[in-house]
Structure 1
Amino acid sequence: MVYAVDASDIALQAMEVVRENDLSDKVIVLHGRIEDVDIEEKVDVIISEWMGYMLLHESMLGSVIFARDKWLTPGGLILPSHASLYLAPITNSQRYQDSIYFWRDVYGIKMSSMMPLAKQCAFMEPSVETISGENVLTWPTVVAQVDCYTVQASDLEIITAAYKFTSMLQAPLHGFAFWFDVEFNGPVRQKTKKQASQPSDGNMQNASPSSKKKKPDVSIVLSTAPEDAPTHWQQTLLYLFEPIGLKKDQIIEGSVTISQSQQHSRFLNISLKYFTGDQWYVKESVMR
């Protein structure tokens, strides 16, 4: 038996699809929030596409936690089962050219006075877009890891992680990128090759950031990394208002804090602190 739960009106069309295929004895469509519907038995598998931009945007994982605690049988499966959120510094001169430097000469008209406003409009909030592995200046660091079998809603309210990168290139630092992976495993997470070879600091500084990652043999992984095939999640970029020139092997360190908005539960507050050798900077953004 399958219980298909959806709060949107697409559930009404799903009911018709089930009837059309003579599956009413096997699939029950419930129109409502998972927190409000009634299921009269335990379930063996919970499948949910809860991931938002930057993994945690829209805060849908709480609904999976609710369903797990109320209905999942001991030893049952949750798919996807685990998730990892990554952060890395990036360079993206073309984005600056298209959004900011364009105003220096607009078809022969000087409009540099527009640049401060353009920066506010383009870079105040996080930007969801696709970059490539060539834009990434270092290997990423892990910001958060989620085990869907054990995570609690309170664990997601505030996430803080420190980072330390070493730039592999001489290039302008234009911002930072977030992306995520999700795995499909049982309650006991199998160790992937990627995890086995990753240094303890999580930064993998000695490898090329644009080289292709080896897919693990013992786990199915959906990746939204820049070097993998694009997905509708793309990557989430925090652009700096002013680029910072980096030298090869220059250290970039700091911390990132991600918290659920108190005013809007589906929004994320992001505070990024970074130090490039001469002073500290802070980038505050809201993922709406």
Structure 2
Amino acid sequence: MQVILQCRYFVPANEVVKANNLTDKVIVLHGRVEDVEIDEEVDVIISEWMGYMLLYESMLGSVITARDRWLKRGGLILPSYATLYMAPVTHPDRYSESIDFWRNVYGIDMSAMMPLAKQCAFEEPSVETITGENVLTWPHVVKHVDCYTIQIHELESIATTFKFKSMMRAPLHGFAFWFDVEFSTPAISPANNHIPPVVVGSSNNHPMDGCQKKKRANPNEALVLSTAPEDPPTHWQQTMIYFYDPIEVEQDQLIEGSVVLSQSKENARFMNIHLEYASGGRSFVKESVMR
């Protein structure tokens, strides 16, 4: 069996192979996937390509390149599928710590600093951990990624529209983004690498872009790594897009708009985020860059 294991760190990988007496079984190739040469097709491609907000750092493109160059018909890609979600959140503690602090700093009124404090705290996306209690609605699927079929050009710009209904009365402080990845085994070989395989132990009922997902369907049918707020924390945490000022929403109030995620022309590893949203008859636009 031929396996591609994508690794950023060449020397430690070689040392690990030697320490485990696997030099006769594992060959470490030093170089970018786009540049190295392999003389035969492979059975499995393994890569931890997921960045914050799933697509930050744009490493999925390397997996696609490896898939198209070397994966055998019916070969396995791990992880196999990924889904990016978003939902409106309330987080008064975070807002208070960052902003309200300046109203009274050890008895001194520093409220003149609040506009600058808001810009410093909330201009760019923030990677942090929240809980399910912070989330106001069921999540919306921003993008579902099928690693067997997705093409590089699809990652250049991802757009979706959303419509949420708040489940409670609370201040809306922004939107949270998180993702799941699924590890699945193909059962039969497709005619070519760009046709998704039939998957053993999966419902083949993956969430579609733009839908809302109330509950993971049949979670025991596939191995899933989740970075959702209600699941155990991971180093990916959740990515937060905060507003400069909270919006008071009532129970059942609609929150709707659109979001566009695009690769930065300044640096392909960066992500531009264009968020438009409306609630209670007011409309807003938030532009930010994840660097």
TM over 0.5: yes
Per-residue CA deviation, residues 92-111 of structure 1 (Å, 9 max, x unaligned), is 00001100000001111110
Give the structure 2 partner of residue 184 of structure 1: 183
Residue 242 of structure 1 aligns with which residue? 245
- Using the TM superposition, name which of 266-275 and 184-193 deviates more: 184-193
Q: How many Å separate the matches in 1 of 2:259 and 2:210?
A: 16
Unaligned runs of 5+ in 1: none
* 1:3 and 1:28 in contact (8 A); partners too: no
Question: TM-score, normalised on structure 1?
Answer: 0.91
1:232 — aligned with what?
235
* Equivalences for residues 94-133 of structure 1 within 5 A: 94-133=93-132
Q: 1:214 deviation in Å? A: 6.6
Contact 1:129 1:236 in 2 (8 A): yes
Distance in structure 2 (CA, Å) of the matches to 1:259 and 1:182: 21
Greater than 6 Å deviation, 4+ residue runs: 198-201
Report matched runs for 1:56-71 at 5 Å: 56-71=55-70
On the 8 A contact 1:137/1:168 being kept in 2, the answer is yes
Residue matched to 2:168? 169
Instruction: State the SS of the aligned residue for 2:27.
Output: strand
The aligned length equals: 279
TM-score after normalising by structure 2: 0.90
Deviates more, 1:213-222 or 1:154-163: 213-222
Percent identical pairs in the alignment equals 62
Matched, 1:262 2:262: no
2:280 paired with 1:281: no
Match of 1:86, SS state, is strand
Q: Give the Cα–Cα distance (whole angstroms) in 1 for the partners of residues 176 and 200 of structure 2.
A: 27
Residue identity matched to 1:277: G
Gap regions ≥5 residues in structure 2: 187-196
| Structure 2 Cα separation of the partners of residues 114 and 174 of structure 1 | 20
Deviations 1:182-201 (A, max 9, x none): 111233356857958x8997
Deviation at 1:13?
A: 2.5
- Shifted more, 272-281 versus 46-55: the winner is 272-281
Q: How far is 1:277 from its partner?
A: 2.6
Residues 91, 46 of structure 1: CA spacing in aligned structure 2 closer, same or farther, 3 A cutoff? Answer: same
| DSSP-derived class of the 1:165 partner | strand
Code of the residue aligned with 1:136 in structure 2: it is V
> Quick one: which amino acid aligns to residue 157 of structure 1?
E
User: CA separation in 1, counterparts of 2:210 and 2:200?
Assistant: 20
Q: Deviations over 1:74-126 (max 9, x none)?
A: 01000001110001000000001100000001111110011100000000000
Q: SS where residue 106 of structure 1 aligns?
A: coil
- C-alpha distance 190-123 of structure 1, shift in aligned 2 (>3 A): farther
Measured on the aligned residues, the alpha-carbon RMSD in Å equals 2.1
Q: 1:34-68, CA deviations, whole angstroms, 9 ceiling, x for partnerless residues?
A: 11112111100000000000000000000000000
